[in-house]
Amino acid sequence: MLATSLLDANVAHRLARCLLIVSVLIGAAAQAEERLMQGVTQAKDGVQIHYESGSSGPPALVFIHGWNCDRSYWSAQLPFFAATHQVVTIDLAGHGDSGINREKWSMANFGDDVAAVADALQLEDIILVGHSMGGPVALEAARLLKGRVKMIIGADTLSDVSLRYADEQLAGMLAAMEADFPGTVEGLVRSSFFLPTSEPALIDQIARDMSAAPPAAGIGAFKGFARWFDEDVAEMLADIDVPIRLINSDYRPTNTLAGQALTASFEATLMSGVGHFVMQEDPAQFNAIMAELLNRSSLSSSLSTTHIASDYLNHPRLRAATFIRQFKY
């Protein structure tokens, strides 16, 4: 009887936490919607790009979502940062409300989506914030917005810029998506993006969202993201030359040394107890870390990366993980 009571209490506690997170996200989205103005612009290839913007002052924080997601994934950040900054959220081509008539789904073209919005809003003092695939997109956008981007903040992204993906591994994943896009994506989300302790309602919501993405855009972006790592990342980082600050989950290793070998401005802060969607699973912690990064006047390398590098080198799943588990979208 006691064991049953404790089990019921634990279930009730988890349910209460789940409902609280969902209510916070819904409330945050409603508040942000009231303060944001919607707009539409065109990328260079003619695709319509939808965005939202609210102005409180520079620098502008431009939030870039990840693979098969949309601008709503930043709903817990917008009301927090809109009080002190202009905030901008973007639906990349093939995502959310933006157009899908694109021939090449490359990170460079997604970067142009971001640059098109920055130009439309006449942004001159910009901090790019990219989740997952949004990290490489932010780097590409910074190349196009040279001199205007002051910093890049990554959310569980760029965990190992030295990775390269084998052709046969990528081909197998693409074949699975071609055969059953919704099922493959949902399986990937549920098996690879969360911790056993992650809230079931959030997992269900994201699995539904991502598996419902347009297959052509989803498959094209997946391939484009994988092939982005074949490019000369060192040359790209040298060309950008802005501070890169990651806020990553510790559920998989972050190879800080690989990033610092390419640019001294590469730093990482790790969050515990969260999976891939760091800004949604623990928005309070994520927002606090990001606010601290924004408030640091000198952007010095004072953050210690010694323990991060040690964790990476000794991580039990280092290089032994499968392609899917290494791949961060």
Dihedral angle over CA of 311, 157, 320, 172, nearest 10: 180
The tally of domains found in the chain comes to 1
> What is the DSSP secondary structure assignment for residue 133, as one 8-state letter?
T
Selection from 39, 42, 41, 95 nearest residue 66 by Cα: 95
Q: What is the pTM of this model?
A: 0.81
Instruction: State the amino acid at position 259 in one-letter form.
Output: G
Quote the tokens at residue 297.
């006047």
Three-class DSSP category at 90: strand
User: How do beta strands 149-155 and 244-249 pair?
Assistant: parallel
pLDDT tens series, the chain, 329 aa: 544 454 455 555 555 555 555 455 445 445 544 568 999 999 999 999 999 999 778 899 999 999 999 999 999 999 999 988 999 999 999 999 999 999 999 999 999 999 999 999 999 999 999 999 999 999 999 999 999 999 999 999 998 888 777 888 889 999 999 999 999 999 999 999 999 999 999 999 999 999 999 999 999 999 999 988 887 777 787 788 899 999 999 998 898 888 888 877 889 999 999 999 999 999 999 999 999 999 884 433 333 333 333 333 333 333 223 233 334 44
Q: How far apart are CA 70 and CA 107, in angstroms?
A: 16
| Strands in 225-294 per DSSP E | 244-249, 266-271
Instruction: State the amino acid at position 55 in one-letter form.
Output: S
Selection from 120, 102, 109 nearest residue 52 by Cα: 120
Residue range 53-110, pLDDT digits in tens: 997 788 999 999 999 999 999 999 999 999 889 999 999 999 999 999 999 999 999 9
Amino acid 57: pLDDT: 82
Residue length, the chain?
329
Phi, psi for 157 (deg, rounded to 5):
-150, 170
Q: 129: domain range?
A: 2-326
- Burial of 134 (C-beta count, 10 Å sphere; 0-12/13-18/19+): buried
Selection from 107, 112, 118 nearest residue 59 by Cα: 118
User: How do beta strands 60-64 and 87-90 pair?
Assistant: parallel
Q: Positive or negative, the Cα torsion across 65, 70, 75, 144?
A: positive
Instruction: State the amino acid at position 96 in one-letter form.
Output: G
Selection from 122, 101, 92, 114 nearest residue 45 by Cα: 101
Q: How far apart are CA 324 and CA 131, in angstroms?
A: 18
User: How do beta strands 48-54 and 87-90 pair?
Assistant: antiparallel
Q: How far apart are CA 323 and CA 133, in angstroms?
A: 16
The upper half-sphere exposure of residue 329, i.e. CA atoms within 13 Å in the direction of its Cβ, equals 23
* CATH number of residue 242's parent domain: 3.40.50.1820
Residue 326 Cα distances to 16, 64, 129, 169, 228, angstroms: 32, 21, 22, 12, 15
Residue range 39-63, pLDDT digits in tens: 999 999 999 999 999 977 889 999 9
Q: How far apart are CA 87 and CA 304, in angstroms?
A: 29
Q: How far apart are CA 173 and CA 128, in angstroms?
A: 30
Q: Which residues are bridge partners to 88 per DSSP?
A: 53, 62
Residue 264 Cα distances to 24, 238, 258, 324, angstroms: 37, 10, 10, 29
